[in-house]
């Protein structure tokens, strides 16, 4: 299993979620976050914007579903501008269902 953490533009999060559901990825956690990347913010006149709103999608997928999940996020999250986001992948050793205590996935 893999944990996919995708930090994307807020206006792209719904279309990504819909497309992921379309390929069978229905479980995810969505969090509204703030951050900045390589540009370290944006200055407009005297005002400096050093953090921008983003949405972080956290999804656990099987190894077989990983590539298609990444493709969907890349295709539906891209605007071609700086600040489109990042995708982070990490291994998941195990998961448990809180209600039953059973090992999940």
Residue 86, domain CATH: 3.30.70.120
Q: What is the pLDDT of residue 29?
A: 97
Q: What is the pLDDT of residue 57?
A: 98
Axis-axis angle for helices 66-77, 10-22 (nearest 10) = 140
- Segment 42-70 mean pLDDT: 91
Domain range for 22: 2-104
Predicted confidence band of residue 58 (pLDDT cuts 50, 70, 90):
very high
Tens of pLDDT, residue by residue over 20-38, are 999 999 899 999 999 887 7
Pick 7 or 41 by higher pLDDT: 7
Global pTM reads: 0.88
> Cα 15 from chain centroid?
12
Instruction: Please state the domain count of the chain.
Output: 1
């Amino acid at each position: 299993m893999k944990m996919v953490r995708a930090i994307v533009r807020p206006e792209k999060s719904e279309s990504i979620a819909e497309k992921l559901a379309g390929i069978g990825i229905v479980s995810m956690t969505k969090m509204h976050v703030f951050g900045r990347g390589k540009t370290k913010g944006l200055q407009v006149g005297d005002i400096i914007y050093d953090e921008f709103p983003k949405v972080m999608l956290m999804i656990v997928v099987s190894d077989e579903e990983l590539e298609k999940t990444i493709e969907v996020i890349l295709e539906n999250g891209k605007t071609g501008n700086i600040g489109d986001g990042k995708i982070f992948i990490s291994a998941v050793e195990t998961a448990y269902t809180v209600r039953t205590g059973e090992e999940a996935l």
